Amino acid sequence: MCHRLLSSGIFGTDMSAESTPSYLLIHFSGPDRPGLTADLTHVLAAHDVNILDIGQAVVHETLALGILIEIPASKSVTSLKITLTEHARDLRLEPSFSAVSQESLERWLHDSYQPHFLITILGRTVTARHLARVSAILAAHAFNVYRIEPLTQHIASDIAANACIEISASGDLSREAAMRAEFTAAAEELSVDIAFQHESIFRRNRRLFAFDMDSTLIQGEVIDELARMAGVGDEVVKITEAAMRGELNFDESFTRRVSLLKGLPAERVYTLLDAIPLTEGAERLIRTLRRLGYKTAILSGGFKFFANHLQQKLGIDYVYANDLEIIDGTVTGRVIPPIVNGERKAALLKEIAGRESISLEQVVAVGDGANDIPMLSVAGMGIAYRAKPRVRQQASQSISWLGLDGLLYLIGVRDRDLRASEATESK
């Protein structure tokens, strides 16, 4: 249930012996139908109660409704219980009542001010085993779970392309680093993604998504494909491996790789535009972000001719990538400076955010390689997408098992929201 303080009555009430209110936690369960909440709260209204907290959920057409109320001293608790019991049973609901002490109320209010977190389990299916492991980690760190909600219609079914459960919990902020490490280990063992976020005003108020291109928005590396065309694929692979070993920085490795493309005809270069497919879920993600009013950007260490193609295809707002020099219809083997390396990606991200008057906390950056780490680090949410181990370790979130549209769950978008949006768009 979702805890919300709906009244400050517990501290604004005269607690003298002559006017001491009573506090009652009421649960209703039974078959759901329209109008139940209205019927029950009508009875409560007739007894002048204050609602301090309320939560309602429907699981497989069965209602679970909990209400914490403050009953004025002038009203009879027994009379209220009798009336509610009779009314609830007429509605085919089963009520239960628990008296709540002042001490319990104050403890609840104190706990409500603890840091709140969102734990999101994402995969092709989410099973009891996954939920048991995550909840065990939360329990081991004394975190209290107060809401569990599926963001997809099906969480363990062959008919579900994606499966996602979101858990809201509160606990000690000092436990965050240890819990993140345990969630990372559990995700690798269970072949799911587990995201751990602070619940804040920024979570549902992101405004800019910035993407790496190669092996993030598209399923491959443009430079590798060009190298194969030029018959220098093996040489390019060796340079890439040297860079990964730390023997070359990005600028050096990129410059050497591009130099091997010298003499490649431009018409062959442009055949790649329709040869490298988009990553699964990319079109749906960008389409949804545009519909929701997000700005989007490609910040790529790859080539601008391909990034411009994606900009036109997907409707991307900003594109920054490297200019492959072509003169007289032939690749020269040079890149027109400046090279878009990791540091430049981070600087460009800050520049775009400033131009759009967007806080960096409202920025999501997505990438897969070491060259993306600087921009992932400055963004409010940095997501390592199907990334190399080093990148996954340094990013705040990591997604490996879903398509790019799975990122929408991390900003709180539900499948039903997507279906409604897509149905409206198709009209």
List residues with catalytic annotation: 212, 214
Quote the DSSP letter at residue 132: H
Residue 258, C-beta contacts closer than 8 angstroms, at least 6 positions apart: 223, 324, 333, 334, 335
Looking at residue 21, its amino acid is P
* Paired strand residues for 68: 25, 53
Q: How far is CA 286 from CA 145, 291, 304, 336, in A?
A: 32, 9, 19, 29
Strand locations in 212-341, DSSP E? 295-303, 318-327, 330-336
* Paired strand residues for 150: 165
Residue with the two structure tokens 């079109």: 283
How many CB atoms are located within 10 Å of the residue 147 CB? 15
| Number of helices (H), then strands (E), in the chain | 17, 15
Q: Find out whether 332 and 325 touch, Cβ atoms under 8 Å.
A: yes
Q: Find out whether 172 and 332 touch, Cβ atoms under 8 Å.
A: no
